[in-house]
Structure 1
């Protein structure tokens, strides 16, 4: 873009930014994106599906080795379903750690919310007391003023 174009971009994006600031910001973001694209993705390092010979000509065309044979013969019986532990049985550990953690977090939120509500009630009570004191002070002031006016008229 030309400098006039950058000035228009700066005016449209943020009036407080100059054309030079906008251009440098875009260049910085562009460099960051390029560096991220160049970095290998660690998640994909161990995936064998990407080793497909049809996907890339640079890879070797040797067939992948067959999976290793199982040392144990296959069992004739069907796989058994695992039985969930019964809460009434002895040795039952109770809830899982995840359930306990979620329950603890939930209880913490409930306690925090109760404390917040109690603080709001206390704040409202203090405001009401201050308003009553203010009204009492105004009433005493008015009574004193009326008393002096009555005394002055007598």
Structure 2
């Protein structure tokens, strides 16, 4: 009986190594701050900071800033909700950029007011101004008036709100009962065009004043340098004149001394010759003659 040979064992494929599941990173993505959202944040922070008399904001205060920002940004179509932490980080970045640009401007142009091409520079500079008298009074203002003042301030400060209002909204008359009282007179042609014209005139006036101040400062500096140069030249001339006069006086004194010395020698020689002649005459005349 033939013995059956054992069948060869089939090698099983290697099992893939087990990898530990990667922990999902939690956290909010960096917020995308639009131009108008940043302006609204600066405005909300300014109101809260001035109401606290420029004191440090606490967590509850930042929550109020975020809530006020959400209320202001509700008019913007591309606005996204922001937390209090995001608002605080954004304000810290804005303050850091403002300090850097202000220091650079004062270093390059010490005789002119600080300025920068950064669009948020004038708005951050307004934070350094003392709180207005209106903040010290009673805060009992209506939401409609607050929204209208906020939007008008953003427009008149030189930047404006960069979003499009639908034609249906612009053409339809809004009444306070339908919620249109907040935007009445702000987005109409009669309200926007004068504000934009005033904004343009203010920007042109400010740019002209900065150019004139820079030109005047440069001219004053150039005149000061020229005046210093003339003063140094005149001082050198005076020093040379004094030195020349001193040398001339010394030479004149030496010449006078030489003349006196030579005249003294002539007189001495004349006296000696006269005395010697007299003695010789007396020696020739004998007493016996």
TM-score range, shorter chain: 0.3 to 0.5
Higher relative contact order (CA 8 A, sep 6+): 2
Please report the TM-score for the alignment, with normalisation by the length of structure 1: 0.42
Please report the TM-score for the alignment, with normalisation by the length of structure 2: 0.23
